[in-house]
Amino acid sequence: MLVAGVVGACAADKPTAPTAPLSLRNPSAPLGGTSRFDLGRFTGDWVTRACLGPCGATVSFTQSLTGAVIETDTSGSRAYLPGNLGILRATEGDDILVVMWVDEGFRTAVVGTADGRRAAILDRQATGGADRITAAREILDFNGWDISQLRRVK
């Protein structure tokens, strides 16, 4: 406890950036994973084309020897246990990452946390696929995300 108090006191001396809203989605809207989810096809490198909340320009999903899904981006790595319909539950803590949609070719995906703190449109390429990006925006909107706050990632 003493350490937390000292860290908190130091942090109070520094100006802070505005905090992100607790949730970037309407919690009363349905949030569902895709029945098309296939972990083998989902793993690999992705480019973040647009996001809500914190995100990095790229993200990678790998599968560990124990079957966990490891999400790695500029903020670090998080491990999830895959479930039905693209629902990935954190191995530590209570985070849930939902794969809401992937196109048939697994070129574009929409992911977001169940608590509404972050979501992203991911693609295998940095450009192209305008029709898929449009569809991904519609999926975010349908799942209750505030797409007015969606920002492009370069």
- Rounded CA separation 145/110 (Å): 11
CATH class of 23-152: mainly beta
pLDDT reported for residue 106? 98
Asked if 62 and 79 touch (Cβ cutoff 8 Å), the reply is no
What pLDDT shows up at residue 21? 54
How far is residue 113's CA from residue 75's CA, in Å, rounded to a whole number? 15
> In this structure, are strands 108-113 and 96-102 parallel, antiparallel, or unpaired?
antiparallel
Amino acid at 60: S
DSSP per residue over 71-115, as a string? EEETTEEEEEEE-GGGEEEESSSS-EEEEEEE-TTSSEEEEEETT
pLDDT (tens digit, 0 to 9) for every residue of the chain, 154 residues total? 333 333 233 333 333 334 445 789 999 999 999 999 999 999 999 999 999 999 999 999 999 999 999 999 999 999 999 998 999 999 999 999 999 999 999 999 999 999 999 999 999 999 999 999 999 999 999 999 999 999 999 7
